[in-house]
Amino acid sequence: MISPNLLTIFRIFVTPFICLLIIFKMKLLSAVLFLIACISDFLDGFIARKYKSKTSIGQHLDPMADKILLTSILVTLIQTGHIKGIHTTTVYLIIVRNIFVYFLRNYMNAIKKRNIYVNNFGKTTTISQMVSMGMLLLDIKGGMLLLWLSMLFSFFSLFVYLHKSLLNNNPNKIS
């Protein structure tokens, strides 16, 4: 059995190679490697839940790996002209939101001794961002529209995280 944390580390490790493939205009290869990285995101959680091998490091490393992958790809898509003009606003807003959620989760865990677990809104946000980036990599129509929608959805999930972290009285779990 493959370790979920190993899959997460793989996602971090492969990110710069995907960016280089995008920069060198190797569309199909970059899209395939990006797809493999996205599948590894699904698999690490699936394996951890199925085999009850969740770890504390995995709960923190997995969302960080997602942010590294998605932020790096988004910035590379701007650098290569796949995303330009007003559409770069979506990227900046997604990055700011992701950084804020990352720090909120760490703050609640370290200072308040409460965990904010990834919820379905956060998972849907990540999936929609991954699909939109794949579409943009392959120049598939609708990729930019989906990126805008995923940005809006990401802020909805931010408000869910904020609501649950600030208003939930359960000191151990926010889900």
Instruction: Of 131, 15, 147, 13, give the one whose Cα is nearest residue 69.
Output: 15
The pLDDT assigned to 171 comes to: 44
Please state, in angstroms and rounded to a whole number, the distance separating the CA atoms of residues 141 and 130.
15
DSSP strands (E only) in the chain: 115-116, 173-174
Instruction: Of 61, 63, 33, 48, give the one whose Cα is nearest residue 3.
Output: 48
**Residue 117: which residues within 8 A CB-CB, separation 6 or more?**
59, 173, 174, 175
CATH of the domain at 96: 1.20.120.1760
- DSSP tag of 116: E
Low-confidence ranges of the chain (pLDDT < 50): 171-175
The pLDDT assigned to 96 comes to: 95
The pLDDT assigned to 119 comes to: 76
pLDDT in tens, 30-57: 999 999 999 999 999 899 989 988 888 8
Distance of CA 144 to the CA centre of its chain: 17
Query: 119: domain range?
Result: 4-174
The pLDDT assigned to 5 comes to: 94
Q: What total of structural domains would you count in the chain? A: 1
The pLDDT assigned to 71 comes to: 96
